[in-house]
Amino acid sequence: MKQFAVIGDPVAHSLSPVLHQEIYRQLGMEAVYEKVHVTPDQLSDFMTQNEFDGLNVTIPHKTAVFPFLNELNESAKIIGAVNCISGGKGYNTDWIGFLKAMEYNDVELTEKNCLILGAGGAARAVAYALIKSNVNSITIANRTKEKAESLTQWVKLQSEIRVKSSSPEHLNTLTSKYIIINCTPVGMWPDTESVPMNVNDIDENQIMVDTIYNPLETEWLKQGKEKGAKIVGGLDMFIAQGLASADIWFGENISEKVDLNRLKQILKAAI
Ligand SMILES: NC(=O)c1ccc[n+]([C@@H]2O[C@H](COP(=O)([O-])OP(=O)(O)OC[C@H]3O[C@@H](n4cnc5c(N)ncnc54)[C@H](OP(=O)(O)O)[C@@H]3O)[C@@H](O)[C@H]2O)c1
C-alpha cells in the first residue's frame, strides 16, 4: 500500500486528502493519503525520518524543504517553491494547476494583459505560468510595494514580457481588457466579506480568476459576475495541481483517467 501525505502548518483545513482519496477510489489504486501537521521546528526531523512515498507541501514549508531534497525540477528551481516531492526530488505543480484551470475554463492567455494581485508563492507560480503562455503584459499589485517590485524584477529576469508593479490603490483605473488573478488570501474563509480589489472598473471585458477555493465563489468573484465579467474560482486550479502531483508519483496520466466532474462534486460537498 503506497502512502502519501500533505504537510503544512496549519494543515487541518487541507482538502488534499479528499482529492487524492477520491482519485485512488475512482481508479482502484492501492494507496492512502493523509494530512500531517508539521511545524517549522519539526520539519527537519520529519523530512529525514518519514517513510511516505510522496508528499505535498503547503504553507509555510514550500521553500523550507529545499535543504532536504536531492534535486529540484526546472520549474520548482525557477519558481523557488516546491509543493510536491517524489523520491527526494521537488516539483512545483501550482503553475500547472493554474494553466490547466485556464484550459478547463476556456481562458486563452496568449497575448493577453494580465494583472496579478499579490506577490507571494502563488503569485510567483502564476507569473511563471503567464510567462510560459507568452502573455502580452503582466502587472503586479501587492500590499507591500517592495515585494511587488521584487516579483517584477524576477519576471524581467525570466522573460522579455512587459511587466510593471502597481499599488492596490491605483487599480481603480483599468484602462484595457485584463485577466485579473487574485493570488492573495483576501476573501478566503472565514474572512468571506473582504475583496482584494474593488470592482468599480470591472465590466464584461474583464476575466477574473481567484486562486481561493473556499468559498467556491468569493465575494470578489460574485461582485465581478454582477458586473458582467467572466469568473473562474480556485477549485479547478486546486484539482489540477493535485492531479499533476498524482501524475508525478504514479508515473502515468492519472489526470486523463479520472472523472473530473465527480471529483469536483466530492470536493464541493467537502467545502
Ligand atoms: N487553488 C490552488 O490550488 C492554490 C494553490 C496555491 C495557493 N493558493 C491560494 O493563494 C493564496 C496565496 O497563497 P501564497 O502561498 O501565495 O501565500 P503567501 O506566499 O503568504 O502570499 C500572500 C500574498 O497575499 C498578500 N496578502 C496577504 N494578506 C493580505 C491582506 N490582508 N491584504 C492584502 N494583501 C494580502 C501578501 O501581501 P504582502 O506581501 O503585503 O504580505 C502576499 O503578497 C492563498 O489564498 C492560497 O489558498 C491556491
25 CA from centroid of ligand 1 (Å): 31
31 CA from centroid of ligand 1 (Å): 31
Burial class of residue 157 (count of CB atoms within 10 Å of its CB; 0-12, 13-18, 19+): exposed
Q: Lowest-pLDDT range, 2-6, 56-60, 197-201, 240-244?
A: 197-201
Q: Which of 222, 216, 229, 172 is nearest to 195 (CA)?
A: 222
Q: Which residues contact 219 (CB under 8 A, 6 or more apart)?
A: 187, 192, 193, 194, 195
Assign 178 a pLDDT band (cuts: 50, 70, 90): very high
User: How much is the mean pLDDT over the chain?
Assistant: 95
CATH superfamily, domain 2-92+236-270, is Leucine Dehydrogenase, chain A, domain 1 (3.40.50.10860)
Name residues contacting ligand 1 (CB within 6 A).
Answer: 59, 94, 97, 118-123, 142-144, 147, 183-186, 188, 211-213, 234, 237-238, 241
Q: What is the mean pLDDT of residues 136-159?
A: 96
pLDDT at 235 over 80: yes
Among 165, 182, 211, 214, which residue has the most ligand 1 atoms within 8 Å of its CB, making it the best to mutate?
Answer: 211
Q: What is the CA radius of gyration of the chain?
A: 18
pLDDT at 192 over 70: yes
The answer to whether residue 222 is catalytic is no
Q: Residue 67's pLDDT is what?
A: 98
Pick the atom of ligand 1 nearest to 184's CA. Answer: 24
Identity of the residue numbered 106: D
Share of the chain above pLDDT 70, in %: 98
Three-state DSSP state, 163 = strand
122 CA from centroid of ligand 1 (Å): 7
pLDDT at 169 over 80: no
Assign 175 a pLDDT band (cuts: 50, 70, 90): low
27 CA from centroid of ligand 1 (Å): 33
List the domain boundaries for the chain.
2-92+236-270, 96-233
Q: Residue 171's pLDDT is what?
A: 67
Q: Residue 219's pLDDT is what?
A: 98
Share of the chain above pLDDT 90, in %: 93
Which option is the CATH number for 96-233: 3.70.10.10, 3.40.50.720, 3.40.800.10, 3.30.70.20? 3.40.50.720
Identity of the residue numbered 34: E
What pTM value is reported for the model? 0.96
185 CA from centroid of ligand 1 (Å): 5
Residue-wise pLDDT tens digits, 9-18: 999 999 999 9
Q: How far apart are CA 15 and CA 81, in angstroms?
A: 20
Pick the atom of ligand 1 nearest to 62's CA. Answer: 15
Q: What angle do CA 53, 59, 64 make, to 5 degrees?
A: 70
Q: Given this chain, do its domains 2-92+236-270 and 96-233 carry the same CATH topology?
A: yes
Contact 101, 237 (CB under 8 A): yes
Residue of the CA atom closest to atom 20 of ligand 1: 120
Hey, what's the cell of 98?
A: 493554474
Q: What is the mean pLDDT of residues 18-34?
A: 97
Q: Residue 167's pLDDT is what?
A: 80
Residue-wise pLDDT tens digits, 49-107: 999 999 999 999 999 999 999 999 999 999 999 999 999 999 999 999 999 999 999 99
**3-class SS shares of the chain: helix, strand, coil, % to 5:** 40, 20, 40
Residue of the CA atom closest to atom 45 of ligand 1: 185
Residue of the CA atom closest to atom 18 of ligand 1: 120
Which helix (H) or strand (E) segment holds residue 168: the answer is: none
Pick the atom of ligand 1 nearest to 235's CA. Answer: 1
Residue of the CA atom closest to atom 24 of ligand 1: 184
Residue of the CA atom closest to atom 7 of ligand 1: 122
DSSP per residue over 52-68, as a string? -SEEEE-TT-TTTTGGG
DSSP per residue over 229-264, as a string? -EEE-SHHHHHHHHHHHHHHHHTS-HHHHS-HHHHH
Q: How far apart are CA 169 and CA 152, in angstroms?
A: 18
Q: What is the mean pLDDT of residues 210-236?
A: 97
Q: Which of 35, 62, 100, 112 is catalytic?
A: 62
248 CA from centroid of ligand 1 (Å): 25
Which helix (H) or strand (E) segment holds residue 128: the answer is: helix 121-132
